[in-house]
Amino acid sequence: MPATCVIGLQWGDEAKGKLVDLLTLQHDIVVRYQGGANAGHTVVAGDQTYKLSLIPSGILNPAVQSVIAGGVVINPPSCLAEIDGLVERGIQVTKNLMISDRAHVIFPWHMAEDRALDSSVSSGENIGTTQRGIGPCYRDKVGRAHAIRLGDLYREGIEQRIERIVEAKNRTLASMSDNFEPLNAATIAEEYLGYAERLKPFVADTTSYLLDAAEGDKRILFEGAQGALLDIDHGTFPYVTSSNSSGVGVSSGSGVPGRYITKVLGVIKAYSTRVGGGPFPTEQDNDTGQHLRDRGNEYGTVTRRPRRCGWFDAVAVRYTARLSGVDSLAVMLLDVLAALPEIQICTAYEIDGQRVTDFPSHVDDLRRAKPIYETLPGWQQEITGVRSIEDLPANARKYLDRISELVGRPVDVVSVGPDREQTMFSKTSNLR
Ligand code: GDP
Ligand code: IMO
Ligand code: MG
């Protein structure tokens, strides 16, 4: 049966949440499979706006099973707060949410390490993490010795394990910061066992569940978090997140083999944004960037930091579309470009006098990359009320065609505003 993936192809915040919410109707199961509460996915449903962080955007549809798979890292108090917040707003979160017992747990020491580590990146510039403990938790997962998975919280001896870990973490953390207050193992154990009790009804072996679903007749929708340029292995390392946020992460995070995936939708903004540190060749640290930030309301969903804004980078997106096995594109926030007389697209980089169209593997080369731009005329009229791609102004259609040509993928979806209705599907798309 068909499984669809929604993958961000830039540095996150491409409006994946909006798209997942729309596609939920045609699916039985929606799965978050990597990342954690560093993500902030916005869904606007009528007069209600939901900011989802860990819970799949499918949760707004009670008929759909939402799954947090084993590749996700869970901060129990923030997960519970998110569940409580949804329930308070009348959203059903009972049997329709499942959380993997394999998911690794974020503890207070991970947050403390995140704060201490981010100011000591060996390459100088801070990563500017969301400080949610994501990197340190994934590091402990790979390191194994200090890792605790959600399922471990229900096993005997967990208090002793927490005690041993806290002993080691207190020593490390004391050496990392001067005014560090040692953590108390007994308090943390009691607190986390309390959270575990509350989470118990949701905890399950989601890998078996998803394999049964994939082998059966269920339609699965995979919701990517972050964007492919933040992928730990294939992104702009070290200015990345700590999971495989490109399309390559779907199978490792969910346990569902790639052979079941029938459609990959690559989500892009009609321009570029980035939150946090790291190179961004097409960044416009000027009036144009400020205009995009104002029009696009480009402030982080999780941290409220102003997002860095710039022109669309076709070199980067062609790379991430190939890397993620993208079939077609969803171009979001096209309305944000409405007032601009001219719009630039980066078609290649110049690095040390050479014209380059392959995305550089080393961050130093990306730092030196000067964008080579092509200038297209703007359309200079509002398009938030347009409801079919054919009715867009000719220059807007030309802009979409040029993006499609440069990236090498057709455009299936165009979005001209945050509401569900402000979304258009191409005639050839089989998404509706
Ligand atoms: P995500 O992390 O990829 O789900 O994206 P975010 O929710 O962090 O950021 C996308 C923002 O753009 C949200 O505030 C959405 O409500 C908003 N948005 C989504 N689509 C559109 C659109 O087509 N136009 C405009 N102007 N805003 C949009
Ligand atoms: P969604 O799913 C945008 C960025 C952070 C930082 C880097 C590492 O909403 O698109 P981390 O806390 O993950 O260790 O931070 O990654 N980052 C995001 N940027 N959108 C996100 O998620 C992000 N999640 C992490 O700003 O630069
Ligand atoms: Mg976001």
Residue 335 near ligand 1, beta carbon < 6 Å: yes
Atom of ligand 2 nearest to the CA of 40: 9
239 alpha carbon to ligand 3 midpoint, in Å?
A: 17
Q: Is 362 a catalytic residue?
A: no
Q: Measure the CA angle with vertex 349, ends 343 and 354; round to 5°.
A: 145
Residue pLDDT, tens place only, 150-198: 999 999 999 999 999 999 999 999 998 888 899 999 999 999 999 999 9
Q: What span, in angstroms and rounded, lies between the C-alpha atoms of 432 and 425?
A: 8
The reply to whether 118 belongs to the active site is no
Residue nearest to atom 14 of ligand 1 (CA): 42
Encoded amino acid at 94, one letter: T
Q: Which ligand is nearest to the CA of 297?
A: 1
Q: What is the pTM of this model?
A: 0.97
Q: Does ligand 1 have an atom closer than 6 angstroms to the CB of 221?
A: no
Residue 425 phi, psi (nearest 5): -110, 140
Task: Please tell me the distance from the alpha carbon of residue 134 to that of residue 139, in angstroms, as a whole number.
Answer: 9
CB 18 within 8 A of CB 426: no
Indicate whether residue 16 lines ligand 1 (CB < 6 A).
yes
Tokens of 432: 């509706």
Which ligand number lies closest to the CA of residue 36?
A: 2
Of 41, 110, 146, 234, the catalytic one is 41
Buried b (16+ CB within 10 A) or exposed e, 278-311: bbbbbbbeeebbebbbebbebebbbeeeebbbbb
Determine the distance from the C-alpha atom of residue 58 to the mean position of all C-alpha atoms in its chain, rounded to a whole number.
Answer: 15
pLDDT tens for the chain, 432 residues: list them.
689 999 999 999 999 999 999 999 999 999 999 999 999 999 999 999 999 999 999 999 999 999 999 999 999 999 999 999 999 999 999 889 999 999 999 999 999 999 988 766 676 789 999 999 999 999 999 999 999 999 999 999 999 999 999 999 999 999 988 888 999 999 999 999 999 999 999 999 999 999 999 999 899 999 999 999 999 999 999 999 999 999 999 999 999 999 999 999 999 999 999 999 999 999 999 999 999 999 999 998 878 889 999 999 999 999 999 999 999 999 999 999 999 999 999 999 999 999 999 999 999 999 999 999 999 999 999 999 999 999 999 999 999 999 999 999 999 999 999 999 999 999 988 887
Decide if 357 contacts 315 (C-beta within 8 A): yes
